Structure 1
Amino acid sequence: MALIYIKDSVLRSGTLQSLLTLIILQINLANGNDLVLVQAVFRHGDRSPTRSYPNDRHSDYWTQGLGQLTKRGMYQEYRLGKFFRQKYMDQNTFMSVNYNRSEIYIRSTDKDRTLMSAYCILAGMYPPINGSEEQWNPGLNWQPIPVHTEPLTEDHLLNADAPCPRYDELFAKFLASDFIAKFTARYQDLINKAAKLSGLPPTLIGLMTLVDPLFCEYTHGLNMSEWKTVLPFHPLLIQLLDYQNSYRFHTDEMAKLRGGPLLAELIGKMKTALNPVAEPSPKMYLYSAHDTTLVTLLRVMNVFNSRTPVYSSCVMVELWKPKGQGNPYVNVLYKNETNSNNLTVLHIPGCGKVCTLEHFINILKNNVSKDIHAECNSVLQQTSDVHVGVVVLSCLVALLVMVVTALIILLYRKRRTSMSYRPLATNDDEYT
């Protein structure tokens, strides 16, 4: 089975893209192959900035506050849901057109924007059919579908900011590296100008703090005349966004600590789909997350191009199984255009155009997290072991000192008693 590698520069037309997507699907189906599982990790839609800065004159523009999904973002995610419906329901019969709880499972990070994005996608995927049992309210073209989540502090699967001491240590070392020092020197003039306008400290962290609010204000067409001579928004602002996401996962270990659990999850779900233990597993898993989530996943699959995933971008990991003889294989598709359905087929380096699940697992085995809690706390554990050792040694030394002191006191008392003791005289000669 031959896969087609679709370049972004080729895909300019939505019609052309739909045709190419259909061709890829038909090639698989024509070869007698069955789609077994789809796992899609997507970014939320357009949002308000997650932070502000002291001199931000547009801080009151965002009526719902910081980090919230906008109406534009809601529509972007709704369109992504329609795309899923077209690709996996209308173009083939892989998924039922009616919602079936045994076919699909949706998980989100515990953030308003990702939870709302998940609901918008489901609204696009499963509009109630008129007259059907799922139409519970004739005046509302929507039905409730569950979205699952976990606390951010416990979510190592999708939250790239979950507590991880080992990652924090590696990131602190990276910030103190010569690489960052040279990068800061390169942009020092820009950092100083940005600090003067923003009211933030003239540091690299200060500059990076500005990137998100300025990007959001720029994309919403707000008046930013004071920034025109400081930050040429394209391409520099986008370039800084790319730097920000790339450098957060600069080393392989940093990437693994953040993306390794998700890669392990995807592989585990594919194994289960081929060998269901009890009842059939879902055909589709949706993960509503962030740009950092997609970056870490692309990074641990060795296909990250150092470009920040756009709003409602999506990575789809498909598992196919040939009919009859043949090994199951993996397709990785990347939708990184907000307003079109253009797809890029990503090839895992070293896996060839047809990447069997076995090769996929073997090639990426070093990037899979086995025990994220142990991996994140490895440094603390070593430090804890040292502390325990020090405490035990201190206790032993203290006990030894106490024993020696007690012996010294005992011996001193015995000696003093023997020297001061004299028997009473029994004859008068002693007093003559």
Structure 2
Amino acid sequence: MLIGNDWCGAHARKVLLIKETSSNNRSTTLKLVHVLFRHGPRTPVNTYPNDPYVNETFFPYGWGHLTNDAKKELFTMGNSLALRYQDLTKPYYKPDMIYAQSSESPRTMMSISVLLAGLLPPVHTPMEWNFKLNWQPIPIFVKPAESDIWLRMTAKCPRYDQALEEVLQQTEVKLELNRYETMFEELTYITGKNISSAADINSLYITLLAEQMYGLQLPSWTEHYYPERLQYLAEQNYIYNAYTMEMQRIKSGPFLQQIIRQMEAYVEGTLIPEERKIFIYCGHDWTITNVLLALKVWKRQMPRFSALITFELHQREDTKNYFVELYFQNDPESDLKPLVLPGCNFQCPLDKFVQLTKEIIPTQSYDEMCRLKYITLLAEQMYGLQLPSWTEHYYPERLQYLAEQNYIYNAYTMEMQRIKSGPFLQQIIRQMEAYVEGTLIPEERKIFIYCGHDWTITNVLLALKVWKRQMPRFSALITFELHQREDTKNYFVELYFQNDPESDLKPLVLPGCNFQCPLDKFVQLTKEIIPTQSYDEMCRLK
């Protein structure tokens, strides 16, 4: 493969250093490569109220986008990979040769585009189409954020959210975070933002890093905290997010499962298309750390922009056996560093690699892994299935408290209640007031019926402050009844809840009111959870 002269010189020296870590000097042949990397340096995504750059526009990029320096860095990384994997890209790029996938984010899509431009320039090949432009279009596949379980890892997963909360409630984690209470208070005062968790520290650390790499002078207070004092908790945040085997299986399992399947398909001769040699994926900092933690090879390297992991499938020329080599590069200016999977050698036989990662590879679909366990058992029980014997020790009593807590955490603050239940309650109040004013359309309407989910019920009950930890059963029901007194003609609201179709409706008393709550009082008491902004305005990152 011929590479244009535009990247020679200074870049070539670094590329050659990376080349030295390759296995090409051994009696083996590189067969297949998977590359996972984080997007390049960007402008900040988040800020804090007292940030001196809170009103910065970051022209011409805007917030959260790649800088020109990032593009140069990623292009050079592509050059480096071109030399390292030149035997796989010979004689020149063809569409079946490579698969590229990005998360649904402008900075990742731009990053992989630039890296591919450096990896596969078309000059002096049949794919050259413009003599003035040493570039060729290469397809990049993207999954929507709401269904991405590989790279952005933002597909909804209630069980993961529950598992994370369980981790944060563990005694050792609480004790660890308690040691930083003073620092949390100091940073809350300094930044003007509530800093009370490892996730908050991680966000602040990355904001300061992005500003620093952009060339901005950090405020003087940061000298006492950044990077050293913030880094430990910033790193701990990644650990908490993949603390258990189950969490690793949810977050990294699908991605690693796909890599293993593709390696095995290559060995079996069933990989489609058969000409495919390289897979390249672009994600985020947590994509990198989740994979490294699942493989048990993370050494608390705070992931930098453009951090990179490679999975290389080699074949020995003598025995024809296949083995896997892992590399990590946290700094584009440094060499690829070999990673050794615990329980194996650096050159890990493929079957051994599969065996060692077995516990983090899913045996269920993503949806099945993500079900809240209490509800799964309840559904099986109500269907008439005999639950396994192990459940006797946990279900329902020991599971129920945390299952209920999950609903509380999902509507923990007034703001969360306003977002989740406010629009629904606002609509009910508007319809009641319209009836009283004679403006309800159509005027014959008397009944509104809505069907939702368990969290629909609990979110409303929590927002009204009338939930008494009733684990919502299937067919649970709330009624809002508008009555008029015959004598005074005044209107009042009665609330009822039925958690079991076999039982009676139970009256609910809104705190601060009687059971028969005057409509104007009902409106007043719910005022704090009724939105005053549009849904989009409420949902913007602050």
Shorter-chain TM range is 0.7 to 0.9
Q: Are 1:179 and 2:172 matched, yes or no?
A: yes
Q: Which residue of 2 aligns with 1:305?
A: 299
Distance in 1 of aligned mates of 2:215 and 2:256: 37
Query: Match for 2:238: what amino acid?
Result: N
Equivalent residues in 2 for 1:237-256, closer than 5 Å:
237-256=230-249
> What is the CA distance between 1:44 and its match in structure 2?
0.7
Question: For residue 274 of structure 2, what is the aligned residue in structure 1?
Answer: 280
Displacement of 1:215 in angstroms is 2.1
Question: How many angstroms apart in 1 are the aligned matches of 2:77 and 2:17?
Answer: 17
Alignment partner for residue 52 of structure 2, among 51, 57, 67? 57
Pair 240,97 (structure 1): closer, same or farther in 2 beyond 3 Å: farther
Aligned pair count reads 378
The 8 Å contact of residues 211 and 240 in structure 1, kept in 2 or not, is answered as no
Match runs of 1:277-426 below 5 Å = 277=270, 279-323=273-317, 325-340=319-334, 342-370=335-363, 371-379=365-373, 380-382=375-377, 384-385=379-380, 391=474, 397=502
Q: How far apart are the structure 1 equivalents of 2:72 and 2:135?
A: 14
Q: CA RMSD in A?
A: 2.8
One-letter amino acid matched to 2:376 = Q
| Matched residue, 1:87 | 84
Cα 1:14–1:346 shift into 2, 3 Å: farther
| Residue 197 (structure 1) aligned with residue 190 (structure 2) | yes
CA deviation map 1:330-382 (0-9, x unaligned): 11111221223x02111111112431101110111111123222111252533
Aligned partners of 1:140 and 1:51: how far apart in 2?
Answer: 36
Per the alignment, residue 139 of structure 1 pairs with: 132
| Corresponding residue for residue 146 of structure 2 | 153
- Seen in structure 2, the aligned counterparts of structure 1 residues 195 and 270 have a Cα distance that, compared at 3 Å, is same
Counterpart residue number, 2:64: 67
**Greater displacement, 52-61 / 150-159:** 52-61
Where does structure 2 lack aligned partners over 5 or more consecutive residues? 1-10, 385-472, 477-498, 504-542
1:223 aligned partner: 217
User: Which residue identity is paired with 2:62?
Assistant: G
Instruction: Give the direction of change, closer, same or farther, for the CA distance of 1:337–1:395 in structure 2 (3 Å limit).
Output: closer
CA contact (8 A) 2:252 2:290 kept: yes
Letter in 2 for 1:50: V
**Counterparts of 2:194 and 2:324, CA distance in 1:** 47
Q: 1:388 to 1:55 in 2, by over 3 A?
A: farther
Partner of 1:4: none
Q: What is the deviation of 1:397? A: 4.9
SS in 2 for 1:298: helix
Specify the code of the residue in structure 1 equivalent to 2:68.
K
- For the residue of structure 2 that corresponds to 1:304, the secondary structure is coil
For 1:427, the equivalent position in structure 2 comes to none
Q: Deviations over 1:151-207 (max 9, x none)?
A: 011110112332111110011122223233223322222211211121112522544
Give the aligned residue type for 1:179.
E
Report how far residue 237 of structure 1 moved.
3.3
State the partner residue of 2:420: none
Distance 2:273 2:216 in 1: 53
Deviation at 1:46, TM superposition (A): 0.3
Aligned counterpart, 1:25: 23
- 1:23, distance to aligned residue in structure 2 (A): 6.3
Q: Is the 8 A contact 2:303 2:330 kept in 1?
A: yes
Q: Distance in 2 between matches of 1:23 and 1:66?
A: 37
The equivalent of 1:408 in structure 2 is: none
Letter in 2 for 1:69: L
Residue type at the aligned position of 1:78: F
Q: Which moved more, 1:373-382 or 1:95-104?
A: 373-382
Higher relative contact order at CA 8 Å, sep ≥6: structure 1 or structure 2?
A: 1
- Cα distance change, pair 326–225 in 1 and its aligned pair in 2 (3 A): same
Q: % of aligned pairs identical?
A: 26
Report how far residue 282 of structure 1 moved. 0.9
Secondary structure at the aligned position of 1:201 is classed as: coil
**Per-residue deviation at 1:283?**
0.4
8 A Cα contact 2:43 2:214, kept in partner: no
Gaps of 5+ in 1: 1-12, 399-432
Secondary structure class of the residue paired with 1:66: coil
- Residues 317, 330 of structure 1: 8 Å contact kept: yes
> What amino acid is the match of 1:84?
L
Q: Which residue number in structure 2 is paired with residue 234 of structure 1?
A: 227
Q: 2:95 aligns with which of 90, 101, 113?
A: 101
Pairing 1:48–2:46 present: no
